[in-house]
Amino acid sequence: MAEHAATGHAMHRLATQLFPITRSLTGPGYRRTLELLEQVTGTMQRHRFASGERVLDWDVPKEWTIRDAWIKAPDGTKVVDLAQSNLHVVGYSVPVHRRIGLAELQEHLHSLPDQPGAIPYRTSYYHEAWGFCLSDERRRSLADGEYEVSIDADLKDGAVELGEVVIEGAGDDEVLLWTYCCHPSLANNELSGPVLAAHLARLLRERETPLRHTYRIVFAPETIGAIAYLSRFGERLREHLVAGYVLTCAGDPGAFTYKRSRRGDALADRVAEHVLAWGDEEHRVVDFVPVGSDERQFCSPGFDLPVGSLMRSMYGTYPEYHTSLDDLSLITPQALGESLRAYVRIIDALEANETLVGTVLYGEPQLGRRGLYPRTGGPSDALSAGRQRDMMFLLSFCDGSADLLAAAQASGRPLTELAATADMLRSHDLLRPV
Amino acid sequence: MAEHAATGHAMHRLATQLFPITRSLTGPGYRRTLELLEQVTGTMQRHRFASGERVLDWDVPKEWTIRDAWIKAPDGTKVVDLAQSNLHVVGYSVPVHRRIGLAELQEHLHSLPDQPGAIPYRTSYYHEAWGFCLSDERRRSLADGEYEVSIDADLKDGAVELGEVVIEGAGDDEVLLWTYCCHPSLANNELSGPVLAAHLARLLRERETPLRHTYRIVFAPETIGAIAYLSRFGERLREHLVAGYVLTCAGDPGAFTYKRSRRGDALADRVAEHVLAWGDEEHRVVDFVPVGSDERQFCSPGFDLPVGSLMRSMYGTYPEYHTSLDDLSLITPQALGESLRAYVRIIDALEANETLVGTVLYGEPQLGRRGLYPRTGGPSDALSAGRQRDMMFLLSFCDGSADLLAAAQASGRPLTELAATADMLRSHDLLRPV
Amino acid sequence: MAEHAATGHAMHRLATQLFPITRSLTGPGYRRTLELLEQVTGTMQRHRFASGERVLDWDVPKEWTIRDAWIKAPDGTKVVDLAQSNLHVVGYSVPVHRRIGLAELQEHLHSLPDQPGAIPYRTSYYHEAWGFCLSDERRRSLADGEYEVSIDADLKDGAVELGEVVIEGAGDDEVLLWTYCCHPSLANNELSGPVLAAHLARLLRERETPLRHTYRIVFAPETIGAIAYLSRFGERLREHLVAGYVLTCAGDPGAFTYKRSRRGDALADRVAEHVLAWGDEEHRVVDFVPVGSDERQFCSPGFDLPVGSLMRSMYGTYPEYHTSLDDLSLITPQALGESLRAYVRIIDALEANETLVGTVLYGEPQLGRRGLYPRTGGPSDALSAGRQRDMMFLLSFCDGSADLLAAAQASGRPLTELAATADMLRSHDLLRPV
SS3 annotation, C169-204: CCCCCEEEEEEECCCCCCHHHHHHHHHHHHHHHHHH
Do C116 and C49 touch, CB atoms closer than 8 A? Answer: no
Query: Distance between CA atoms of A326 and A320, rounded to whole angstroms?
Result: 5
- Looking at per-residue confidence, does C373 or A16 come out higher? A16
CA distance C299 to C318: 24
Dist CA C229 CA C225 (whole Å): 6
Distance CA B343, CA B194 (A): 13
Interface test with C, best of A355, A357, A362 (most C CBs within 10 A): A362
> What pTM value is reported for the model?
0.93
d(CA A166, CA C49) in angstroms, rounded, equals: 59
Mutate to test the interface with B, among C356, C369, C375 (most CBs of B within 10 A): C375
Strands A241-246 vs A174-180: parallel, antiparallel or unpaired? parallel
Specify burial of residue C433 (Cβ count, 10 A radius: 0-12, 13-18, 19+): exposed
- Is B203 in contact with B242 (CB distance < 8 Å)? no
Residue A378 pLDDT > 70, yes or no? no
Confidence of residue C104 (pLDDT cuts 50, 70, 90): very high
Cβ atoms within 10 A of the Cβ of B128, count?
A: 9
Q: Are A23 and A63 contacting, i.e. CB atoms less than 8 angstroms apart?
A: no
Residue in C361, C366, C396 closest to B290 by CB: C396
Instruction: Give the nearest partner residue to B395 out of A226, A290, A304, using CB atoms.
Output: A290
CA-atom Rg of chain C in angstroms: 26
Tell me if residue A192 falls in helix, strand or coil.
Answer: helix
Yes or no: say if C126 and A366 are a contact pair by the CB < 8 Å rule: yes
Question: Which pLDDT value is given to residue C381?
Answer: 53
Alpha-carbon dihedral angle through residues B406, B411, B416, B417, given to the nearest 10 degrees: -150
The predicted structure's pLDDT at residue B375 = 66
Query: In the structure, what pLDDT confidence band is assigned to residue C221 with cuts at 50, 70 and 90?
Result: very high
Q: List subunits contacting chain A, requiring 3 or more Cβ pairs under 8 Å.
A: B, C
Q: Do B290 and C395 touch (CB under 8 A)?
A: yes
Neighbours of A168 (CB within 10 A): 11
Q: Which helix (H) or strand (E) holds C15?
A: helix C2-18
Tell me the nearest-neighbour CA distance from A173 into chain C, angstroms. 28
- φ, ψ (nearest 5 deg) of residue A335: -65, -40
Give the pLDDT mean for A414-431.
97
What's the CA gap between C107 and C104, in Å, rounded? Answer: 6
* Site from C24, C57, C299 to mutate, A interface, most A CB atoms within 10 angstroms: C57
Give dist(CA B286, CA C93) in Å, integer.
Answer: 67
Whether A199 and A238 have beta carbons less than 8 Å apart is answered as no
Alpha-carbon gap, residue C413 to C277, rounded angstroms: 11
Torsions phi, psi for A170 (to 5 deg)? -75, -30
Mean pLDDT of chain C: 96
Angstrom distance (rounded) from CA C365 to CA B126: 13
Q: CA dist C353 to A225, C275, C360, C417, C434, Å?
A: 62, 12, 21, 11, 12
Q: Chain A: residue nearest B375 by CA?
A: A124
Q: What contacts B206, CB < 8 A, 6 or more positions away?
A: none
Q: In whole angstroms, give the CA distance from residue C402 to residue C404.
A: 7
For residue A198, pLDDT beyond 60: yes
Task: Check: CB of residue B293 under 8 Å from CB of residue B235.
Answer: no
Residues in C touching B118 (Cβ below 8 Å): none
Instruction: Reply yes or no on whether the pLDDT at C377 is more than 60.
Output: no
A65-94 pLDDT, tens per residue?
999 999 999 999 999 999 999 999 999 999
Does the pLDDT of residue C352 top 70, yes or no?
Answer: yes
Q: How many CB pairs under 8 A join A and C?
A: 80
Q: Which of A376-385, B127-136, B356-365, C350-359 has the lowest mean pLDDT?
A: A376-385
Query: What distance in Å separates the CA atoms of residue A336 and residue B149, rounded to the nearest whole number?
Result: 97
Q: Which of residues 181-200 of A touch B (CB under 8 A)?
A: none
Task: Quote the pLDDT of residue C127.
Answer: 86
**pLDDT score for A375:** 66
Percent of chain C residues topping a pLDDT of 90? 93
**Which one of B392, B396, B398 would you mutate to disrupt binding with A, by most A Cβ within 10 Å of its Cβ?**
B396
Considering only the beta carbons, identify the residue of A91, A129, A297 that sits closest to B363: A297
Q: Would you call B230 and C363 a contact, using CB atoms and an 8 Å cutoff?
A: yes
The residue of chain C with its CA nearest to that of A401 is: C301
Q: Which residue of B lies nearest to C371 if distances are taken between CA atoms?
A: B127
The terminus-to-terminus CA distance of chain C in angstroms comes to 34
Residue A126's pLDDT band, with cuts at 50, 70 and 90, is confident
d(CA C70, CA C79): 8
> What residues of chain B score a pLDDT lower than 50?
380
Query: Which pLDDT does position C374 carry in this prediction?
Result: 72
Residues of A in contact with C107 (CB under 8 A): none
Q: How far is CA C421 from CA B288, C213, C377, in A?
A: 20, 21, 21
Give the C-alpha separation, C288 to A325, whole Å. Answer: 55
pLDDT of residue C130: 97
Dump pLDDT digits (tens) for C222-266. Answer: 999 999 999 999 999 999 999 999 999 999 999 999 999 999 999
Q: Which amino acid is at A71?
A: I
Rounded alpha-carbon distances, angstroms, from residue C166 to B7, C208, C218, C247: 75, 16, 9, 16
B345 touches chain C (CB under 8 A): no
Q: What is the DSSP string of A33-94?
A: HHHHHHHHH-PPEEEEEETT-EETTEEPPPEEEEEEEEEE-TTS-EEEETTT-GGGB-BTPP
Q: Are C122 and C90 in contact (CB under 8 A)?
A: yes
Strands B146-156 and A159-167: unpaired
Bridge-based pairing state of the strands B214-220 and B174-180 = parallel
Q: Is C263 on the interface with A (CB under 8 A)?
A: no
Q: Which chain A residues contact residue B365 at CB under 8 A?
A: 57
Residue C356's pLDDT is 98
Q: What is the DSSP letter of A172?
A: S
Which DSSP string do the residues of C230-271 spell out, in sequence order?
HHHHHHHHHHHEEEEEE--S-SSSSPEEEEPPSSSSSHHHHH
Q: What burial letters (b/e) apply to C102-121, b meaning 16+ CB within 10 Å?
A: eeebeebbbbbeebeebbbb
* Mean pLDDT of the region C407-411: 96
CA-only gyration radius of chain B, Å: 26
SS (H, E, C) A374-403: CCCCCCCCCCCHHHHHHHHHHHHHCECCCC
Q: How far apart are CA A261 and CA A250, in angstroms?
A: 18
C414 vs A: CB within 8 A? no
Report the residue of chain A nearest B392, measured CA to CA: A290
B108 inside 8 A of chain C by CB: no
Cβ separation C375–B90 shorter than 8 A: no
Residue A165 burial (C-beta neighbours within 10 Å; 0-12, 13-18, 19+): buried
| B218 phi/psi in degrees, rounded to 5 | -120, 135
In sign, the C-alpha dihedral spanning A112, A115, A119, A120 is negative
> For residues A27 and A126, is the Cβ–Cβ distance under 8 A?
no
**AA letter at B369:** R
Single-letter amino acid, residue C179: T
Separation of CA A187 from chain center? 13
Q: Which of A274, A321, A323, A268 is nearest to A293 (CA)?
A: A321
Chain B stretch 363-382, residues whose beta carbon is closer than 8 A to a beta carbon of chain A: 363-366, 368-369, 373, 375-378
Distance from CA of B360 to the nearest CA of A (A): 7
- The Cα B199–Cα B423 span in angstroms is 29
The rounded distance, in Å, linking the Cα atoms of C380 and C322 is: 59
Task: Give pLDDT, residue B126.
Answer: 83
Tell me what the mean pLDDT of segment C396-413 comes to.
Answer: 97
Neighbours of B355 (CB within 10 A): 16
Rounded to the nearest integer, the mean pLDDT of chain A is: 96
